[in-house]
Amino acid sequence: MPDALPVFLDRMRRRFGQSPDIVYREIALGRFPAAIAYVEGLGDPRFLIEAFHRDMALFAELGDEPPEKLLRLLKARTITLGKVGETNAFSEVETQMLAGNTVVFVDGSATALFVGTENLKQRGVEEASSQSVVRGPREGFTESLRENTALIRRRIQNPRLRIEQRKLGTQTRTEVAVMYVEGKADPEVLNELRRRLDRIDLENVLESNYIEEMIQDRRYSPFPTVFNSERPDVIASALLEGRIAILVEGTPFVLVVPALFVQFFQSSEDYYQRGDFASLVRLLRYFCFIIALLTPSFYIAISTFHQEMIPTDLLVSLIGQREGVPFPAFIEALLMEVTFEILREAGIRLPKSIGQSVSIVGTLVIGEAAVEAGLVSAAMVIVVSITAIANFALPAFNVGISARMLRFVLMGIAASFGLYGIIIALIMLGLHLCSLQSMGIPYMTSFAPYRRKSQKDALLRLSRRGAARKKILG
* pLDDT tens, residue order, the chain (474 aa): 666 888 888 888 888 887 888 888 888 888 888 888 888 888 888 888 888 888 888 877 777 778 888 888 888 888 876 688 888 888 888 888 888 888 888 888 888 888 888 876 667 777 777 777 778 788 888 888 888 999 999 999 888 999 999 989 888 888 899 999 998 998 999 999 999 999 998 888 888 999 999 999 888 889 999 999 999 999 999 999 899 999 999 899 999 999 999 889 988 888 888 888 888 889 999 999 999 999 999 999 988 888 888 888 877 777 777 777 788 889 888 988 888 888 787 777 777 666 666 666 666 677 777 777 777 888 888 888 899 889 888 888 888 899 999 999 999 999 999 999 999 999 999 999 999 999 888 999 888 877 777 777 788 877 766 444 444 444
Which pLDDT value is given to residue 254?
93
Report the 3 state secondary structure along the chain: CCCCHHHHHHHHHHHHCCCCCEEEEEEEECCEEEEEEEEECCECCHHHHHHHHHCHHHHHCCCCCCHHHHHHHHHHHHCCCCCEEEECCHHHHHHHHHCCCEEEEECCCCCEEEECCECCCCCCCCCCCCCCCCCCCCCCCCCCHHHHHHHHHHHCCCCCEEEEEEEECCCCCEEEEEEEECCCCCHHHHHHHHHHHHCCCCCCCCCHHHHHHHHCCCCCCCCCCCEEECCHHHHHHHHHCCCEEEEECCCCCEEEECCCHHHHHCCHHHHCCCHHHHHHHHHHHHHHHHHHHHHHHHHHHHHHCCHHHCCHHHHHHHHHHHCCCCCCHHHHHHHHHHHHHHHHHHHHHCCHHHHHHHHHHHHHHHHHHHHHCCCCCHHHHHHHHHHHHHHHCCCCHHHHHHHHHHHHHHHHHHHHHHHHHHHHHHHHHHHHHHHCEECCEECCCEECCECCHHHHHCCCCCCCCCCCCCCCCC
Which pLDDT value is given to residue 360?
63
At a CB cut-off of 8 Å and minimum separation 6, what does 66 contact? 108
- Beta strand 441-442 with 437-438: parallel, antiparallel or unpaired? antiparallel
Amino acid at 415: A
Which pLDDT value is given to residue 356?
62
Which pLDDT value is given to residue 112?
86
Which pLDDT value is given to residue 353?
61
Q: Give the Cβ contact number of residue 42 at 10 Å.
A: 18
Cβ–Cβ under 8 Å, residues 131 and 110? no
Question: What is the domain partition of the chain in residue ranges?
Answer: 5-115, 145-259, 279-442
Question: If we measure between CA atoms, which residue out of 183, 176, 235, 180 comes closest to residue 206?
Answer: 176
Which pLDDT value is given to residue 82?
67
Which pLDDT value is given to residue 469?
45
